[in-house]
């Protein structure tokens, strides 16, 4: 998640940016709030959750605008990726079958876990025990299997 460069220091955005500027600004403000919230009184592993969630939402927003609604042009989409409005690597995963709803890249990184497996949020709801409420440690995801 590279920082978004300030408007004065970057190349001018392509046409159509003004349509989505406001919503991106809302996401940006949310992200700033999340970053500035003190994390003294919450468990350490939960401190990053809101950051991951907002980043996911914003990436999803850009992804849907380009791939599903076809609302923005290719140059604008690329400009958004380049300027850090969306996570290109995460979007690359969403295009793959089985990863359509992936919450974050860390949850499919098998090498980082003790048993070389993906995160619990990748397990389909049908395979979990009845009424088992999961929330993954990495990003607070409650389940992002494609079948859910």
Partner 1 sequence: MVKSTYQPPPGALLPLSPGWTEHKAPTGHTYYYNAETKESTYQRPGPAPSPINPSMSSYLQHQTVPQVNLSDPAVANAFMAQYVQQQPHTHGQRGGFGPRGRGGFQPRPRPQPRDKPRTKVAIPGCDPWILVYTKYERRFAYNPDKKTSYWRIPEKLMPAILELDQARIRQKAEGKTGEASPEKETSATPAAAPQQPEPEAAQHDYDSSEYEEVEVTDDEDDVGGGLDQDGNPSKRQRTEDPANDGPAEFTEADIAAQLAAMGADYGDMEMGEGEGEGESWEEGDEGLPLSDEDARELFKDLLNDFNINPYSPWEKLVEEGKVFDDARYTVLHTTKARREVWEEWSRAKIQELKERRAKQEKKDPRIPYMALLQEKATPKLYWPEFRRKYKRDEPMKDPKLSDKDREKWYRDHINRLKLPQATLKADLKKLLESVPLSALNNQTVASHLPPQVAGDIRYISLDPKVRDPFIAAYVQGLGPQPEAGEVAEEDEAVKKAREERCKRERALQERERAVAEEKRRQEKKLQYERARLRDEERELERAMQVSKRGLHSQLVEGRAEPGS
Interaction site with partner 1 (CB under 8 A) = 12-13, 17-20, 22-23, 26, 57, 60-61, 64-65, 68-71
Shortest Å distance, C-beta 118 to partner 1:
26
Q: How far apart are CA 48 and CA 45, in angstroms?
A: 7
The residue (of 44 and 129) whose beta carbon lies closer to partner 1 is: 129
Residue for token digits 């919230």?
Answer: 37
Radius of gyration of the chain (CA): 17
C-beta of 110: minimal distance to partner 1 in Å?
A: 30
How many whole angstroms separate alpha carbon 20 and alpha carbon 91?
18
Minimum gap (Å) between residue 131 Cβ and partner 1: 11
* Cβ closest to partner 1, residue 23 vs residue 78: 23
- Least separation, in Å, of the C-beta of 8 and partner 1? 8
Cα distances (Å, whole numbers) of residue 45 to 2, 24, 30, 32, 42: 21, 27, 20, 19, 8
- Give the number of other CB atoms < 10 A from CB of residue 95: 10
Nearer to partner 1, 12 or 126 (CB): 12
Nearest to 30 by CA among 6, 5, 51, 1: 51
Q: How many CA atoms lie within 13 A of 72 on its CB side?
A: 24
C-beta of 64 vs 112, nearer to partner 1 = 64
Q: Would you say 25 or 117 has its CB closer to partner 1?
A: 25
Q: CB of residue 116 vs partner 1: minimum separation in angstroms? A: 34
């Amino acid at each position: 998640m590279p920082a978004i460069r300030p408007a004065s220091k970057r190349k001018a955005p392509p046409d159509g940016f003004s349509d989505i500027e406001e919503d991106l600004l809302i996401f940006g403000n949310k992200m700033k709030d999340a970053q500035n919230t003190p994390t003294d009184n919450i468990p350490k592993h939960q401190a990053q959750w809101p950051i991951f969630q907002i980043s996911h939402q914003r990436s999803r927003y850009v992804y849907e605008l380009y791939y599903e609604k076809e609302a923005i042009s290719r140059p604008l989409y690329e400009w958004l990726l380049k300027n850090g409005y969306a996570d290109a690597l995460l979007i690359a995963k969403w295009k793959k079958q089985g990863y359509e709803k992936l919450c974050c890249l860390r949850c499919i990184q098998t090498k980082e876990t003790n048993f070389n497996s993906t995160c619990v949020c990748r397990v389909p709801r049908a395979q979990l025990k009845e009424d088992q409420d999961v929330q993954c440690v990495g990003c607070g995801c409650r389940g992002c299997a494609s079948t859910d």
